[in-house]
Chains A and B, each alone.
Chain A
């Protein structure tokens, strides 16, 4: 056998898969051919180097992340009814409320846009208050319900009083780092705590649309944002104004998108608002809040946050012009810095692509 042929078979020889005959021929040749022996030796060393490559370890969060994704995939298959009762999507039924409320809210916004432009610096109390009430009142579905009830029982004092102090507690999202799952809903829902886990909640949410017209409440997405915002207890807070609302699709498709504008005292030199807060719920039920700022150079700088259903911060991403600055994921057992690559950031948005 000649050298070329022999060399072709060396790999197979090493793996022990040559037939007896071939093996004999090759070994015969090797006895007298130094060149081929050298090739064989180099091949063995090469394979040795390759086998020396260390196995890499998977990150500790991998299992959990996979299971979360799998469960999210599994859940919707229960059907529309199942979707509505799925814990993570408790807020979805309130999309029904949102859909109905949108019309009213839109009119509200249209009406207010004109005066808003004129009153750039010092918007009148009423307009701000009116705008602000919707997100506030929808503190969380349970809060909302009790507000409804209070409304119905003509306790208008409560309505006026509680939104304002509650509002004062809302502040910059950037400081949000809630760890306790139970939000500050205590004062206003005497009865409803029990019902959190039952279908009664959904039914109540359905009833809510009736008295809604008075208050044009923000949809559940706003409710969640408020819940998250409630984490902060700061004395004075900028007001939130609903810039625009969109409920793409109907109940169940669940992409709810609300842009809230945080009015701050100083506007950016280029005239744009200082901070824009965007909130959205993805089809798989992930809650994301994005807060974008404009720095002195007019560059957009953003922080995007994602929350567990409990209100606890799940992940935080900071970026400039879409380039990732850093990315952090929080787990029930602690904070982990994951990395600085854009791929990680893309992961957060992957389902939306």
Chain B
């Protein structure tokens, strides 16, 4: 199977071709296989379990609808995760609108002079940092991840939590590898600084 630059084969190729022919039941195997990873991506992105579950369902439904036009330029799973990321982004936009939060814009990260991202609450709670200090480590880490700007959170989640390669991340987010590198650096740095604040020391 030709994959363009990617020489990896797609484990899902067989099932995908069945689905293209209209076999709805075959799709179930894909649902079972990929749901956990998709859920985790969505969850780390939007921070809410119910939302993440909804996103996963919507992603599968969208994928199934469009499966006939899936061109197999990338792996099926990559395509699937891209859908999840897009839906997560949409959901985050919705949330932003709902809480009238205007401190951040997706295209305009707030950087201080030394390249750090200011940690600002992404919700209308009094202080994210205050809340973080009270919760346990994992919650604190999750909180710091959540406090990132969306585009930085995306690369961090995909790289350090999900383990995708720079190349795969570039495909999923439709950005150049160089952009992945620099965003990742800033994201990690920001989480590092956030953690220092809420944990005291690493």
Contact = CB atoms under 8 A, between A and B. Distances in A.
A50 B145 contact: yes
Given A51-B160, A56-B39, A70 B32 contact: no
A53 B188 contact: no
A17 to B, nearest CB: 7
B60 interface: yes
Contacts of A343: 48, 50-51, 54
B195 interface: yes
Interface stretch (A59-67, A89-97, A174-182, A306-314): A59-67
B160 A42 contact: no
Interface residues of B, number: 44
A341 interface: yes
Interface stretch (B6-14, B77-85, B134-142): B134-142
A9 B159 CA distance: 16
Contact of B43 (A47, A50, A56, A69): A56
Nearest to A346: B54
B166 interface: yes
Given A15-B159, A58-B39, 6 more contacts: A42-B192, A47-B160, A53-B145, A62-B53, A62-B56, A63-B31
A74 interface: yes
A236 B190 CA distance: 68
A6 B181 CA distance: 14
A57 B185 contact: no
Contact of B189 (A43, A57, A339): A43
B35 A46 contact: no
Given A51-B160, A58-B36, A11 B60 contact: no
Contacts of A59: 53
Contacts of A17: 166, 181
B188 A11 contact: yes
Contact of B50 (A45, A53, A67, A341): A341
B197 to A, nearest CB: 12
Contact of A49 (B40, B185, B195): B195
Contacts of A65: 57
A49 B50 contact: no
Contacts of B166: 15, 17
A71 interface: yes
Contact of B57 (A42, A46, A49, A69): A69
Interface of B: 24, 27-28, 31-32, 35-36, 39-40, 43-44, 48-51, 53-54, 56-57, 60-61, 64-65, 115, 137-138, 141-142, 145, 156, 159-161, 166, 181, 184-185, 188-189, 191-192, 195-196, 202
Contact of B31 (A52, A55, A67): A67
Contacts of A46: 188, 191-192, 195, 202
B128 to A, nearest CB: 17
Interface string A64-87: 011101110110000000000000
B161 A53 contact: yes
Contacts of B184: 11, 15
A53 B142 contact: yes
B188 A47 contact: yes
Nearest to A50: B160
A15 B54 CA distance: 33
Nearest to B160: A50
A12 interface: yes
A49 B61 contact: no
A57 B40 CA distance: 8
A54 interface: yes
A70 B28 CA distance: 10
A63 B28 contact: yes
Contacts of B56: 58, 62, 66
Contacts of A49: 137, 141, 191, 195, 202
Nearest to B54: A347
B185 A8 contact: yes
A344 interface: yes
Contacts of A69: 57, 60-61
A20 to B, nearest CB: 17
Contacts of B181: 11-12, 17
Contacts of A70: 24, 27, 60-61, 64
Nearest to A10: B185
Interface string A326-353: 0000000000000101011001000000
